[in-house]
Amino acid sequence: MNKVILMGRLTKDPEVRYSQSAQPLAIARYTLAVNRRFKREGEPDADFINIVSFGKSGEFAEKYFKKGQQVCIVGRLQVRSYDDANGTRKWMTEVIAEEQHFAESKTSFEKRMAMEPQVHVPAPENNNTDGFVPIDESFDDDLPF
């Protein structure tokens, strides 16, 4: 079984690109800062998890998800590799989102942003967003509200 459930804050607004096919497919990429429950000395407080959502889910993320917002993602873990310009093999681990949920109300998020306009969510160290990942799943048109 390959199932991942994450709750964290977006490090920036989702970036959406469209595939170059007869029927363009939205591909949204964003990163979640997920707090660690226990911290060891010298380790960061959060893990930065790359998320990818496709189709209607990708368009939803682009429209409704904002930097600093707390969201919950249910999906599957995917590990892939590619060769960079120098011919070095690079490995990427990302979560392919199957479900995306708000983990705080819009009012709560807006109030928190108004009180703390300088919310700083650190960026991940390596945020490579090149390339596309094929997917053969169908997506639901329903919105969660």
Where do the structural domains in the chain lie, given as residue ranges?
4-115
> Which pTM value belongs to this model?
0.71
Does the structure show a pLDDT above 70 at 130?
no
List, for residues 17-71, the tens digit of each pLDDT value: 999 989 999 999 999 999 987 777 777 688 999 999 999 999 999 999 999 999 9
What percentage of the chain carries pLDDT values higher than 70?
79
Does the structure show a pLDDT above 90 at 134?
no
Burial of 97 by CB count in 10 Å (0-12 exposed, 13-18 middle, 19+ buried)? buried
Of the candidates 127, 138, 117, 119, the residue with the CA atom closest to the CA atom of residue 14: 127
For the 4-115 domain, the top CATH level (class) is mainly beta
Q: How much is the pLDDT for 122?
A: 55
Residue 134 has which token pair? Answer: 């094929």
Residue 109 has which token pair? Answer: 């998020």
The percent helix, strand, coil of the chain (3-state, each to 5) is: 15, 40, 45
